[in-house]
Structure 1
Amino acid sequence: MAQNPTRRSTKQISGEDIVVETAWLYYHDGLNQSDIAAGLMVSRATVVNYLQEARERGYIHTKLSPEAFNTHRAALKLCERFGLKAAYILPDGTGGPDDHASRIIRGAADWLPSLLEPGDRLGIAWGKTIYDVAEQLEQTTIPDLTVLQLVGSMATPYGFSADVCSSNVARKFSANCINLHVPAILSSAEIAATLRAETLIAHQFEAVSNCNKTLFAVGSCNPDSHIVSSGLATLAELEQYKAMGAVGVLCGRFIDAKGDPVSGPLDERMMGVELEKLRHRDAGILVSVSEDRAAAAVAALRGGYATHVVTNQRSASAMMDLA
């Protein structure tokens, strides 16, 4: 039986100290909540509140080992089927779509630091999934890491632009950041060509094209796709690309079922990395948060954009069914 700590009234330990003391006794010394309550002369409910406060203040960081998610059967089967280096498959849980997405995003944030090395050049895509991953990252330092924005900026219905995604990732990793100081799409191909020729912009595009690792999500070609809601494409333009075989959207550009780029009216107006620059990198980390994006995810895998996948069991199964 665990031994009670020395009995001390909370009058002797107050404020922030009592929260830290409770967390230490529970997580480090392995005492149960009843033992801690007796030792600190408080109720068990108070101990529960102290532990919750410790988590909310960021004093406690709990993670399951990556092996729990990338060595079981579903992960190994996905790797074998698509030639991946690794897959991180979260359990589905009992919640709805929002809970599923939240689990996958947290898993991606937990796994990402272990996939990066000093000197890496990490290209960051845009969208709510990547924004949420950046928000979940814990502060850490990866020496000589450079984070690069892969697509120009565009206002979104979520209240952030593409540069926020790359800037937040860079901030969490204490990394250098190179953003594209241009809109994601322009009104004409001529204006886009002129901007690409500007010395500063040309240097930014050259830097972005030389990333060795990428973090991205893929969008669907459904009418509620982020490429429409963000204003990058109209519904009519979306239907035009679908008629040409598009099944997904990667970094603002359309891909077909094989993962090949689908050329269309938006391409010359787009200000972002060309898809060919994203193929066969040292690591392409795909975060896929729902079953309705399975076809788009499979297209990205077939196209050679991803070496690592973060998703849940249900979405992984949907991908396998499409293989």
Structure 2
Amino acid sequence: MATPRNAGRGIREDAVIEAAWLYFHDSLNQNDIATRLGVSRATVVTYLQEARASGLVRISLAEEPFTRHRLAHDLCDRFGLKAAYVAPAAAGVEGTLKRVARAAAEWLPTLLEPGDRLGIAWGQTVFETVEAMGQIQTEDVKVLQLVGSVPSPFGFTAEACSTNLARKLSAECINLFAPVILSNAENARILMAEPIIAAQLATLGTCTKAIFAAGSCLPDSHVVGAGVASLAELDVYKAAGAKGVLCGRFIDAQGSPLPGPMDGRMMGMTLDRLRGLQMGLLVSCGSEKVVPMHSVLTGGYATHLVTDADTATELLDIAR
């Protein structure tokens, strides 16, 4: 009878590797693997979970069925997109977000080419997308932080998104060493003139592709929770017709940037420069994001979209 393989860290790692190989490569069932390794079936389940969590095993789905989905086709026709990826909706909001992020994580590397300069925004969906990615080897790709640092209590800061994405893509990272918003426009003007900041902002002009999410104008939205905009400022923009937030900036129903109290104080890529990129990948889902997504798509910022079936249906409904 085989000796149980749980006596030490190295031995356990060997067992995890062997269990993963037997299950995913040799197609043995969990009972057979348990007999082979001399452990319980529950231990085999734990080994397989560890293999997934550590990245030893990555399960991916072929993108074609999801990009050829009827809803994906309808989204492309309605909003002039190059491609859309529609994932099945899950039972809860968090479950659906995880599915959409996973879909974006699997799709994004296939959309990159040598020489790309990939801009990345911030937010939970963008952060979860990066977290779901495996390690990918890219050639001559740079990751650019599109917006300044956000003092976010949520953990998914702008620099965390850019740094982690660069690490996952084995790419060079160019962060923006400045706050996303300053107290007044004069301070912003002075900071933008600093050589290091000026060089980093100039690099944003080389951006060829970008990944971002659509933010809502609700009082509990991340743009308010992170301190980018106050509730009073939110009310000003909503009164002016704000329907969504893109890269920390408010947009109206047509996707046009709205003038307001944050003018001249923001640090990062301006929205006019997001249009016309080779790829603008919008990753968003949920009923509260439908109106902001519609604004982003109407504004022509996105060429590619990842969402779920329920959100896609709602998006098409309000677009009719």
CA distance, structure 2, for counterparts of residue 49 and residue 229 of structure 1: 37
Task: Indicate how the Cα distance of structure 1 residues 162 and 48 shifts in structure 2: closer, same or farther if over 3 A, else same.
Answer: closer
1:134 equivalent to 2:115? Answer no
Is the aligned partner of 1:15 residue 2:8?
A: no
When residues 39 and 230 of structure 1 are mapped into structure 2, their CA distance, relative to the original with a 3 A threshold, is: closer
What is aligned with 1:71?
68
Describe the SS at the equivalent of 1:215: strand
> 2:55 — aligned with what?
58
Match 2:310 to one of 300, 309, 314 = 314
Show CA shifts across 1:269-314 (max 9, x none).
1111110000021000001121211111111111111011111011
3-state secondary structure, aligned to 2:23: helix
Residue 99 of structure 2 is matched in structure 1 by: 103
Q: Post-superposition shift, 1:40?
A: 4.2
Cα gap change, 1:224/1:11 in structure 2, threshold over 3 Å: closer, same or farther?
Answer: closer
Distance 1:104 1:12, change over 3 A: closer
Partner of 1:3: none
2:295 partner letter: A
| Cα offset, 1:12, TM superposition | 8.9
Give the distance between the partners of 2:147 and 2:52, measured in 1 at CA: 35
Q: Percent identity?
A: 54
User: Which of 188, 192, 197 lines up with 2:188 in the alignment?
Assistant: 192
1:34 pairs with 2:31: yes
1:88-237 equivalence runs, <5 A: 88-93=85-90, 95-237=91-233
Q: Match for 2:312: what amino acid?
A: A
Q: C-alpha separation between the residues in 2 aligned to 1:108 and 1:256?
A: 26
Question: Which of the two has higher C-alpha Rg?
Answer: 1
How far is 1:44 from its partner?
Answer: 3.6
Is residue 289 of structure 1 aligned with residue 278 of structure 2?
Answer: no
Deviations 1:152-199 (A, max 9, x none): 112112135321211111111111111111111111111111222222
Paired AA for residue 220 in structure 1: S
Shift of 1:57: 3.1
Distance 2:152 2:99 in 1: 23
Distance across 1 between alignment mates of 2:221 and 2:154: 13
Report the AA paired with residue 9 of structure 1.
A
Question: Distance in 1 between the 2:53 and 2:223 partners?
Answer: 35
Alpha-carbon offset, residue 99 of structure 1: 1.0
Equivalent position amino acid for 1:189 in 2:
A
Q: Which amino acid aligns with 2:44?
A: V
Contact 1:253 1:267 in 2 (8 A): no
Structure 2 residue runs of 5 or longer lacking an equivalent are none
Q: 1:44-93: per-residue Cα shift (whole Å, max 9, x none)? A: 44433332232233221111111232111111111111111111111012
- Contact in 2 for aligned 1:10/1:18 (Cα 8 Å): no
Contact 2:4–2:39 (8 Å) recurs in 1: no
Give the 3 Å change call, closer, same or farther, for CA 53–270 of structure 1 in structure 2. Answer: closer
Alignment partner for residue 83 of structure 1, among 80, 83, 99?
80
8 A contact 2:4–2:38 mirrored in 1: no
Counterpart secondary structure, 1:284: strand
| 3-state SS of paired residue (1:267) | coil
- Note the 1:244-259 alignment, pairs <5 A: 244-259=240-255
Cα distance per residue 1:108-150 (max 9 Å; x no partner): 1111111111110001101222122222211111111011111
Change (3 A) 1:183 1:44: closer
How has the CA–CA distance of structure 1 residues 36 and 242 changed in structure 2, closer, same or farther, with 3 Å as cutoff? same
1:11/1:37 CA distance change after superposition, 3 Å? closer
Aligned partners of 1:254 and 1:261 also within 8 Å: yes
Give the gaps of 5 or more residues in structure 1.
Answer: 1-7
CA contact (8 A) 1:74 1:313 kept: yes
Q: Is the 8 A contact 2:121 2:211 kept in 1?
A: yes
